[in-house]
Structure 1
Amino acid sequence: MMTENYEWISPFVRQLLAVSGVVMYMIGTGANIAFPGVLLQQLREPASALRLTPDHESWIASILGLALILGIVVAPFSLQKLGRKLTNQLSTLPTLGGWALLAAARGPTALLISRSLQGFGMGIQAAAAPVSIAEYSAPKHRGAFLATIAFSFATGMLIAHVFGTLLYWRSAALACGSVYVLSLILVTLSPETPPFLASKGLTDQCRKSFHWFRGYDPSSEKELEILLNSQKQITGTRRGSRWQAYRQTVRKPEFYKPTLIMMFMFILFQISGMTVVPSYTVPMMEEVSAGTIDANVSMLMVDVVRFVTAVLSCFVVNKLNRRTVLFLGINISVAALLLASLLLYLRDDGCIPDEYKWTPVIPTLVYIFGKTLGILPIPWAIAGEIFPLEYRSLGSGISGMFLSIMFFVVVKTAPFSFEQIGVSGTFCVYGTSVAICGMFLYFLLPETKGKTLYEIECHFKGIKGDIGQTELHEGEKMLELKKVECG
């Protein structure tokens, strides 16, 4: 919903409004991931009327991953045909239904269906969120706005655990689900993204939307002209059947290189324990602390560290290079995981006195800090930047498929892993896996900070994508025309 009299609001505030709609959705996603941590804990109590088996519990925590796959399959077609705005709006409906059904559930089947609905909506949004935020944002703000995805996850996890600690699980479910109502309202207040409108040949609507988000300064005008011209060239070169188009697409370096990078990014994201820890925080921290810290206190300790670090990452990602932040997070996480694993082994062997048996808690919290600082925000930031507009929907869908598959595999196997090799062995496996993914990404991942989406696309094509003086003069001309029109 665009209004004509918006110029008194700064472009940054308008971008922030649009981004906030996606942020509220991702807060809900964080709550979806973390809610089993409190739900299952309450259902294990003797007075609970709803009883679950261990198999039920692992499915309730992990079925989001399977449902994500279906959502991610739908997402590319929705993003391409319906647009970013309508996709964001529609994705709130299954998640709202899922939370409502969860609050009313009377048995394991209803819980599983509710979690599946949440996962389906999350799958659509997993592809739509980074694309939408990147297309809403100016290059100088894009890093910070994309980092809000990490902040949103951390906030949602904290909210779910706080509500689940203070409220009965049905009331907590309604409270967590309410964020999707706010998301729907904020998304509805914002216009469609300019790149999508340009891809559909809607030039006038694209200009109007672009000016709503970015104003009329020369750098924005030249970026707008390049966006429109590049889409005209793409439209003019489209030939042949859909199958031929797909075959040509997968051979292009500007498609397969970003897709390969994002596959490793999302494998790294999941194998670092990003979704396992929120789902199994209480039993994991009971093992790490050897029962010396109350379970709910240790859960909130993890949540607070994650939340504070996520706030910090919004500033760090915008100030430092993407690669710097990512590999800083990887190095901290690997060192902390291996140290925590070593301390747990030594404690189990009786090498650590009883008064110090809580010491593995320290490297565990450092691990939470490291993965939240670099491994949580950077994959989402890169996902919003790295795909060319022509393939953005398809590339996000394919890479998101790896995210959902790894989500299911890692969360479903976590209870078995904890039981068979303990938390110490699981930490060792995660630390080693993170290190291996980090080595691949060290050679594959380019730096994207401060570059326009067009310049990033040109990097993968292997051509020079700098904006030259001709485009600068075009932008200045457009600005002068706007000044004349405004009197």
Structure 2
Amino acid sequence: MIHILGNFYHWRTVALLSLFPYIIFLVIIFTWPESPAWLVSRKEFEKSKKAFYWLREHSEEAEKELYELIRAQKDKPADINNSSFNEKVVQFLKKFTRKGFVKLIVIIMFSGLLLETCGRHIFPAYALQIIGEVTGDKSQSFHYTLALDIIITTSAIFSSVLVKICKRRTLLFVSGFCALFILFSVCTYLYLVSKAIISNNYTWIPISLFVLYFILANLGCTPIPLALLGEVLPLAYRGSGSAVAGLVMSLIMVVALQITPYLLESVKVYGTFTVFGSAMGLSLVTGFILYYPRQKTELCRRLKIISITEDLGTRKS
């Protein structure tokens, strides 16, 4: 919709129109109950139960999770919630000395790097310039961009289904490494075209490769890093971890968006995507080694132990 509106209206008009969905969403958010974890931290257990079941409905798994949430809070020393502001700041900074917290931040950092370097925000922002350079015909770049938008949106919707039925680790790394291979292939092709080694009459080849790349990238590299944010942060780290995660991911997005125009100008499309592809490959390799263990149940078990032990203010497990 933004690409369509941007083709007919000034960007300030588009920005103004974009405010209305945010206003609607804000009104909807005001109808939501408070976070169960926040209510538990304030010892409002009955309200927390109502909010929790409103979100998750009644099930055996939900009841166990709620029980652990409330038990951890009830066992927490009373003086933790009554700490002064300075003491809370010190407690927050001390978390950076804990291996568990630092590892989670590293996971989130590379997840954010993967999310941005796969083109989550970069391509929509500079689609017309990228497609115009690839095809060599800026008059048709708008139509190519719309076609790619439809394909990307469809694959993103389809990924919501795949995330539910496939193992996330398998989906992430299979689609991620395949997408990376396609990306480097199209970069190589565009480089050879720029050096007149290959004819530039076959524009359907790079466009088709880009279509395949964005389909694969949107199947795993886009949804799973976002899903990780809701899974890897236990209650003990949720507030501080979310704050740091928001800062880190926002910085990565801003840096990626700011350097893209300079890369497109200096090293063209093939160089730009080579740079981002290299960072994407680094994120995937790091993720393969570091995060997302083979067994999700093992991840949840260890994070639950971290959450309970940190809430109890002890290093014992």
If the length of structure 1 is used for normalisation, what is the TM-score?
0.57
2-structure distance, mates of 1:460, 1:248: 15
For residues 307-359 of structure 1, give each alpha carbon's deviation from its aligned partner in whole angstroms, at most 9, with x where no partner exists: 01110111111111222222123212211211111111121222333431442
For residues 254-313 of structure 1, give each alpha carbon's deviation from its aligned partner in whole angstroms, at most 9, with x where no partner exists: 322211110111122223333221111101111112228702112112211210111011
By how many angstroms is 1:399 displaced? 2.4
Q: Secondary structure of 2:267's partner?
A: helix
Which range is displaced more, 309-318 or 410-419?
410-419
**Contact between 1:386 and 1:456, CA under 8 Å: does it hold in 2?**
no
Q: Which residue of 1 aligns with 2:29?
A: 187
What is the identity, as a one-letter code, of the residue corresponding to 1:387? L
Q: Secondary structure of 2:246's partner?
A: helix
Q: Secondary structure of 2:33's partner?
A: coil
Q: Which residue of 2 aligns with 1:343?
A: 189
1-structure distance, mates of 2:57, 2:176: 38
What is the identity, as a one-letter code, of the residue corresponding to 1:228? I
Match of 1:441 among 274, 287, 305: 287
Percent sequence identity over aligned pairs? 27
For residues 193-238 of structure 1, give each alpha carbon's deviation from its aligned partner in whole angstroms, at most 9, with x where no partner exists: 2111112211121122123233344433232222100122234473
2-structure distance, mates of 1:381, 1:282: 29
1-structure distance, mates of 2:61, 2:165: 21
Q: Which residue of 2 aligns with 1:160?
A: 2
Q: Which residue of 2 aligns with 1:233?
A: 75
Structure 2 unaligned spans of 5+:
310-317
Q: Which residue of 2 aligns with 1:209?
A: 51
1:277-296 alignment to 2 at 5 Å?
A: 277-291=123-137, 294-296=140-142
Q: Which residue of 2 aligns with 1:92?
A: none
Q: Which residue of 1 aligns with 2:154?
A: 308
2-structure distance, mates of 1:389, 1:298: 45
2-structure distance, mates of 1:211, 1:189: 16
**Contact between 1:282 and 1:299, CA under 8 Å: does it hold in 2?**
yes
Q: Secondary structure of 1:315's partner?
A: helix
Say yes or no: does 1:173 pair with 2:15: yes
2-structure distance, mates of 1:357, 1:454: 47
2-structure distance, mates of 1:319, 1:459: 27
Say yes or no: does 1:263 pair with 2:109: yes
Q: Which residue of 2 aligns with 1:219?
A: 61
2-structure distance, mates of 1:429, 1:259: 23
Say yes or no: does 1:199 pair with 2:33: no
What is the identity, as a one-letter code, of the residue corresponding to 1:207? K
1-structure distance, mates of 2:303, 2:28: 30
Runs of at least 4 residues of structure 1 off by over 4 A?
166-171, 447-454, 459-463
Say yes or no: does 1:413 pair with 2:259: yes
Q: Which residue of 1 aligns with 2:304?
A: 458
1:344-359 alignment to 2 at 5 Å?
A: 344-359=190-205
Say yes or no: does 1:427 pair with 2:269: no
2-structure distance, mates of 1:293, 1:372: 27
What is the identity, as a one-letter code, of the residue corresponding to 1:378? I
2-structure distance, mates of 1:433, 1:213: 37
**Contact between 1:309 and 1:373, CA under 8 Å: does it hold in 2?**
yes
Q: Secondary structure of 2:205's partner?
A: coil
Q: Which residue of 2 aligns with 1:392?
A: 238
If the length of structure 2 is used for normalisation, what is the TM-score?
0.86
Match of 2:97 among 240, 251, 259: 251
Judging changes above 3 Å, is the alpha-carbon distance between structure 1 residues 414 and 160 closer, same or farther for their aligned structure 2 residues? same
